[in-house]
């Protein structure tokens, strides 16, 4: 594509751009919203560094330039992994949000389309590119792509607990990462859906999807876009609920690492044994009338092999690493 991607990767420069999260004990989860966020329970984590922003197209392009990495969305799916799939659908591509004119019910296929040729370079399909979005979060990255970038960078993906702790920005017992109002004084604090999802967006033309990183205020730790813009991969396997609270302070979960791969499979697709991971933070598609997951406690299941136009990632570095 001839993209202008800055100089070669330098771990010292990357660490200088990361921010230190001091660690500590916090109450994870929520009992007030979706059932998978419950029960809220105290956990303890060590301090770590986290990227100030999600990984951008510019940063991901540098990784691809240096390694030759080919993302999952750019590969033709293996029919053995998808029993029963129509042969004509086994082509390289990814899921793209496509706003419908009208909707009937909550069937997500009304606004999600698998587009052949859609990938991180072409986020809307074959006729799109990222030339004017180099500093937007990279999207259409599956879990393996995020891991490959993190390995190359000498970093890791955050656990669910690390992400949630960092997203809270030092605040406790607040609904949002910035307080208890979604839009204090009518001001948007994150890139979330404005209008009626999925048919009507009241954002200015050209701003309906991802936004330039750092377009919205940083949280209390100095991290940007931990809520909204794009969902972000964590390293934890999905579980339908959190663990029950520890019976006493001496027994708090310490640096929890999620559940088991076999327990993360989607029970609605018993023939497809693809592990699911926790994604956090919500995205530009989260809306009050549909998906109120623009909160630190919110969580969602994402199959490892799935890439979409609203999921990205960021990295962490732990002193123990």
Which pLDDT score is estimated for 2? 53
Number of H helices, E strands in the chain: 4, 13
C-alpha torsion 107→110→112→117, nearest 10? 140
Phi, psi of 254 (to 5 degrees): -120, 120
CB atoms within 10 A of CB 131: 12
Report whether 72 contacts 305 (CB < 8 A): yes
Quote the CA–CA distance of 285 and 12 in Å, as a whole number: 35
Which pLDDT score is estimated for 219? 98
Length of the chain: 321
Report whether 9 contacts 67 (CB < 8 A): no
pTM: 0.94
Which pLDDT score is estimated for 78? 83
C-alpha torsion 42→30→312→291, nearest 10? 180
Which pLDDT score is estimated for 166? 98
Report whether 183 contacts 193 (CB < 8 A): no
Q: Identify the segments of the chain with pLDDT beneath 50.
A: 1
- Per-residue model confidence as pLDDT tens digits over 228-248: 999 999 999 999 999 999 988
CB atoms within 10 A of CB 98: 14
Report whether 226 contacts 167 (CB < 8 A): yes
């Amino acid at each position: 594509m001839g993209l202008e991607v800055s100089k070669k990767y330098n771990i010292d420069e990357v660490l200088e751009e990361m921010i230190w999260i001091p660690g500590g004990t916090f109450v994870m989860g929520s009992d007030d919203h979706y059932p998978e966020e419950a029960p809220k329970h105290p956990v303890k984590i060590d301090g770590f560094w986290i990227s100030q922003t999600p990984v951008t197209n510019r940063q991901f392009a540098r990784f691809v330039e240096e390694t030759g990495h080919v993302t999952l969305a750019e590969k033709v799916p293996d029919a053995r992994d998808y029993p029963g799939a129509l042969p004509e659908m086994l082509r390289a591509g990814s899921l793209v949000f496509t706003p419908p004119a009208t909707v009937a019910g909550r069937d997500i296929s009304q606004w999600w389309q698998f587009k052949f040729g859609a990938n991180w370079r072409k986020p809307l399909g074959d006729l799109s590119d990222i030339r004017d979005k180099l500093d937007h979060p990279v999207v259409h990255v599956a879990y393996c792509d995020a891991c490959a970038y993190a390995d190359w960078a000498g970093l890791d993906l955050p656990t669910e607990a690390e992400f949630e702790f960092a997203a809270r920005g030092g605040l406790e017992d607040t609904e949002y990462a910035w307080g208890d109002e979604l839009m204090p004084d009518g001001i948007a604090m994150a890139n979330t859906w404005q209008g009626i999802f999925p048919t009507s967006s009241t954002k200015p033309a050209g701003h309906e999807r991802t936004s330039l990183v750092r377009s919205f205020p940083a949280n209390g730790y100095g991290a940007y876009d931990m809520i909204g813009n794009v969902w972000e991969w964590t390293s934890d396997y999905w579980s339908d609920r959190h663990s029950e609270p520890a019976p006493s302070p001496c027994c708090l979960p310490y640096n929890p690492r999620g559940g088991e791969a076999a327990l993360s499979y989607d029970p609605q697709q018993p023939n497809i044994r693809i592990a699911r991971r926790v994604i956090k933070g919500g995205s530009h598609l989260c809306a009050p009338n549909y998906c109120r997951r623009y909160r630190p406690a919110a969580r969602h299941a994402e199959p490892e092999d799935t890439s979409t136009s609203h999921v990205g990632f960021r990295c962490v570095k732990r002193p123990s690493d």
